[in-house]
Amino acid sequence: MPLAGAVPSAQDMTVQVWLKPDLAGAAAFADAVATPGSAEFHHYLGPAAYTARFGPSAAHARAVAAWLSTKGLTGVHISDGRDYVSATGPASTVQSAFQMRINRYRAQDPLGGTTLIQSNDRDVSVPAPLAPDVLGVTGMSGARPDTTRIAAVPRTQTRPRTPARAQAHVTAAPKAPTCSGYWAQHTHPLHPAYQGLSTASLPVCGYSARQIRAAYGATWTDTGKGQTVALTEDEAPTAMFRTLTEYARTNHLPAPKPSQFREVRAGKSCGTATRGAAQATAVNDEAEMDSEAVYAMAPGATQLMVVGDGCDEDQALLDAALSVLTGDGKHPSASIVSNSWQIPLGMVPEKTVHAIDVRAAAEGVGMYFSSGDTPGLTVTDSDPYAVAVGGTSLGIGATDNRVFETGWSSDYGSLEHGRWSDLGISGGGGGTSLVHGQPAYQKGVVPASMSRVRVGKRVATDRAVPDIAADADLDTGLLTGYTESGSDGKPGPYRTMVNAGTSLACPLIAGLIADAQQGRKTAFGFSNPLIYRLAGTRAYHDVLPVDSRMPQQNRAAYLAADGSGGASGVDVFGSQERASTDQVAAKGYDTMTGVGTPNGAAFIAGLRRAAP
């Protein structure tokens, strides 16, 4: 990547030196407590007990802390579970301590634009006596482009994520509608035809809670009562409980009780405007979408929103996830964690994410991660102890019936001057890991064609992603709400907009897991061994590739020009091109949607039977 310059030597940084636990022993224990039939099945450890049994020793943590102090770093702190040692100092001191340089580089973002990323120019170095006890170091990367956390679609410049109230205004005018209240309510001819299609449906104006609940069979018998779902975020929303209350009212859901929502912070405050400053004027309703998607599926559950602080976005998010696991020492803060974010490969050491996920599994906490909004893998979704949630395109009809569902992988065509231009494919993440071997729960379910991958000169059978899926396409997204922040910093009016991405799919799944856990004495914890036991049963809708026999209006969405000079376009669903992605949609397991999407009561009953 082209070098854009060095970070200022006086820039304050907080680094975390992650310590090595007994990963092999912890993984064996995690497998035992997560696998039905094992003598240890669902006999979890509390946070302090996990640290005592598998965590790094206190002596090793003190040794790392002492070294950081001698290098001139301040605020040295050993985390509650001895997972890492953190320290703060100017960039010049951090660079000297770890024997590397921290630079800014120009890189291409998922939308084809140019962005700046921050990274060390070589591997960090620690003293040889300490190296065996260190997993890795985080805190060098700063902020990442916001496009890695939303539905990264090429049409963003011509069809922005317009607030739904503005869309409603357009729909009410005498002009032709630009979106639909349900799938195929409105269609549009394609002149000339594109990829053999002469008609397409308009995208939805945003599904309601009623529609998305019906599509995945959520019931009023199981509402997640008695369960806690944690939502990890990197930015705090404006007046979240007020927003959630209004979302419930406008969607005819029961009003949330104050005891059902709590917001806490984790990590160390950045103290500068570095992170998120570039998006300060844009609407970022990521946290609101997470909360509302969980509430739509599990209105009886308690939500714990954990906002990670810090100048390094990746580190802040890891801190948020880890804080749920350390809890009060005796118990984790939640048994279900929805992580609607992803960290690209290479941005943090994979073993740090692995250590967090193994701890979670040993404590009986399910870590649900978005598979990402661009094809391929991330460091967060590919770990074998994470439940990776992929994305679909979902058509819901006039009677809340399921019209179609296919893997989210859309080819975007732009129409200008009567000619189509193919601008490429967007969609959810997935694929086969080059690092992690195939976990036992995937054996016999994932076809060899999707689990085998060439690593150097050998062919390995490795971890396939995702595990399960739900709606993620912006053309079939959810109508979410947020509260505007006024110029005086006080909460303003409630607004709505269409939202999507695997950042939507993840909390939808988390909510349904909460429904299934209702009334149980022990949590499902790491649920992949249960999820895969149900593969091929009525517990799932098998998400199939687009078929030429499908009606044309169910194979594409027409995107009207927004009046700002941009072109109209079309998204062709279920596009699979090896040049853009090595993922595939197929009968049974596939690398776009995993084992499929939940089938309501059958999914809930199946999980309960699989975990007696």
Give the integer Cα–Cα distance in Å for 574 and 503.
19
Residues 69-94: tens digit of each pLDDT? 999 999 999 999 999 999 999 999 99
407 vs 141, which has greater pLDDT?
407
Report the residue count for the chain.
Answer: 612
244 pLDDT higher than 90: yes
Do the beta carbons of residue 9 and residue 92 sit within 8 Å? yes
Residues 309-341: tens digit of each pLDDT? 988 899 999 999 999 999 999 999 999 999 999
Three-state secondary structure call for residue 269:
coil
- What is the reported pLDDT for 280? 37
HEC string for 383-427: CCCCEEEEEEEEEECCCCCEEEEEECEEEEEEEECCEEEEEEEEE
The domain limits of the chain are 154-610
Sheet with 114-120, edge to edge strand ranges: 3-6, 102-108, 114-120
Neighbouring C-alpha atoms within 13 Å toward the C-beta of 248: 19
Q: Considering the chain, what percentage of its residues have pLDDT values greater than 90?
A: 77
Give the integer Cα–Cα distance in Å for 304 and 260.
8
- What is the reported pLDDT for 106? 82
Q: Considering the chain, what percentage of its residues have pLDDT values greater than 70?
A: 90
158 pLDDT higher than 60: no
Q: Is 154-610 a CATH 3.40.50.10140 domain? A: no
96 vs 105, which has greater pLDDT?
96
- What is the reported pLDDT for 565? 63
Residues 458-517: tens digit of each pLDDT? 999 999 999 999 999 999 999 999 999 887 878 999 999 999 999 999 999 999 999 999
Q: What is the mean pLDDT of residues 361-380?
A: 95
166 pLDDT higher than 50: no
Q: Which residues of 531-548 are buried (b: 16+ CB within 10 A; e: fewer)?
A: bbbbbeeebbbbbbbbee
What's the CA angle centered on 149, arms 320 and 332, to 5 degrees?
A: 20
Give the integer Cα–Cα distance in Å for 520 and 338.
20
Residues 218-237: tens digit of each pLDDT? 999 999 999 999 999 999 99
2 pLDDT higher than 90: no
Give the integer Cα–Cα distance in Å for 388 and 1.
29
Those residues with Cβ within 8 angstroms of residue 175's Cβ, 6 or more apart along the chain or in another chain: none
Q: For residue 117, name the pLDDT band (cuts at 50, 70, 90).
A: confident
Task: Assess whether the previous peptide bond of 529 is cis (omega < 30° from 0).
Answer: no
Q: For residue 457, name the pLDDT band (cuts at 50, 70, 90).
A: confident
Q: What is the mean pLDDT of residues 539-544?
A: 97
Residues 21-34: tens digit of each pLDDT? 999 999 999 999 99
Token pair recorded at residue 216:
């995945």
Give the integer Cα–Cα distance in Å for 139 and 123.
13
Q: What are the CA-CA distances from residue 340 to residues 54, 149, 389, 459, 497 (Å)?
A: 28, 8, 9, 32, 18
Neighbouring C-alpha atoms within 13 Å toward the C-beta of 208: 16
145 pLDDT higher than 70: no
Pairing verdict, β 228-233 and 336-339: parallel
115 pLDDT higher than 80: no
- What is the reported pLDDT for 142? 67
Token pair recorded at residue 172:
């009410």
Q: For residue 203, name the pLDDT band (cuts at 50, 70, 90).
A: very high
Task: Assess whether the previous peptide bond of 192 is cis (omega < 30° from 0).
Answer: yes
- What is the reported pLDDT for 156? 33
119 vs 274, which has greater pLDDT?
119
